[in-house]
Amino acid sequence: MNDNDQTPKTIGPNTQLVRAGYDPFDYHGFINPPTVRASTVLFPDAKTMETHGQKYTYATRGTPTTDALCQAVNELEGAAGTIIVPSGLAAVTLAFLTYLSPGDHALVVDSVYGNVRHFCDTMLSRFGITVEYYDPSVGVAIEALIKPNTKLVHLEAPGSNTFEIQDVPAIAAVARRHGAVVTMDNTWATPLYFRPLDFGVDISIQASTKYPAGHADILLGTISANAEHWKRLRQANGALGICGAADDSYQVLRGLRTMGVRLERHRTSALEIAEWLEKRDDVARVLYPALPSFPGHEIWKRDFKGASGVFSFVLTVEPNQDFKTKAQAFLDGLSLFGLGYSWGGFPSLALHVDLSDRRILQAPDEGPLLRLHIGLEDVADLKADLDSGFRASQK
Ligand SMILES: *Cc1c(COP(=O)(O)O)cnc(C)c1O
């Protein structure tokens, strides 16, 4: 920020999104930062080279483009430092590799993003790290699960596909008292609707692939640390040589500028559709923290500033009807909702959720679970499309 910066001390979230991370007068007044594609950075003389006496030394350690995104995410998360990695999955795995060593024990929420479980059960177990899955509703009772070698507690709230809300401040306080680092995957809420570090979390993780990128065309992840844990994260990042590309970082920074208005639209459309689904006889249950009927709603209301556009619902089945056949008939009846993984982009998406890898949580028994991402289309069109799905599933 330049000296005559007139930004007021407290600014609204959308104002912050528009300004965060980059001062146009650092680069001739151009509104957006340059996309610096780089490996080598030149030094003016041998002495500067020997002492690394300048801001940039090699592009794995950052460029003006990646710095602008890191700085923006720092401001949004209230973090001491942020690193960029090539995907949301890499953001979680790198955080685990940073803080875990052979012989350690980690507690990971059972509603964790599925590929993280795969990483824990294959790579981490090969490295001699024990991972135990816990019930998202555990709260302060997490204390009973902590062992002398518990070094990390991982949260994700709401949980992937089933959207359980966790009592983040309660779990974080217990974990920290026992000397475990607290990591949280905050992809669903984004720092706009929840700031993990304000609730006692040490490391906040985002799949920027989702709402920050916003256009279903970028893979990127960010890991943001508080002051206590930043140095070790930065060292691990340097040791592993995992970094984000300039073009992707540029696109995610560009996406952040409009993330507030996009999320507002995802949020209001998702709530309208969730309420509409909840009233139908062919829907057994809607799993969306913004609905008062959802078990975690009170904690969500206490801690979160908003809800994003992805949620699930349970389709009602007739006695003896096969769940998978019913779910696939519904999905094949849709034409505006695309069938695809990920979410957070402009188009609506749907899929049949597979919960077979859960250790503690049970899949709903009333019928198949379908996940929707409500995109930026008109709500009336999306309801009409879902109506077609319901009709197709009745045949
Ligand atoms: C999508 C997602 C990820 C992984 O992000 P990618 O960029 O697709 O690897 C991680 N965590 C959560 C909660 C996600 O939804």
Ligand 1 in reach of 221 Cβ (< 6 A): yes
Residues 81 and 197 in one domain: yes
- Predicted confidence (pLDDT) per residue in 61-77, tens digit: 999 999 999 999 999 99
Q: What is the pLDDT of residue 8?
A: 54
Residues 274-298, buried b or exposed e (16+ Cβ, 10 A)? Answer: bebbeeeebbbbbbbbbbeebebee
Indicate the number of domains in the chain. Answer: 2
> Ligand 1: which atom is nearest the Cα of residue 187?
13
Nearest residue (CA) to ligand 1, atom 6: 88
Of the pLDDT bands very low, low, confident and very high (cuts 50, 70, 90), residue 82 is: very high
Ligand 1 in reach of 207 Cβ (< 6 A): yes
Of the pLDDT bands very low, low, confident and very high (cuts 50, 70, 90), residue 3 is: very low
**Domain end (from 233, 255, 277):** 255
Of the pLDDT bands very low, low, confident and very high (cuts 50, 70, 90), residue 9 is: low
Count the residues in the chain. 395
- CATH code of the domain containing 20: 3.40.640.10
Residues 82 and 21 in one domain: yes
Residue 326 C-alpha to ligand 1 middle, in angstroms?
27
- Predicted confidence (pLDDT) per residue in 237-294, tens digit: 999 999 999 999 999 999 999 999 999 999 999 999 999 999 999 999 999 999 999 9
Residues 233 and 298 in one domain: no
- CATH code of the domain containing 286: 3.90.1150.10
Number of helices (H), then strands (E), in the chain: 13, 12
Rg (CA), the chain: 22
Domain extent for 21: 2-255
Q: What is the pLDDT of residue 395?
A: 78
Of the pLDDT bands very low, low, confident and very high (cuts 50, 70, 90), residue 178 is: very high
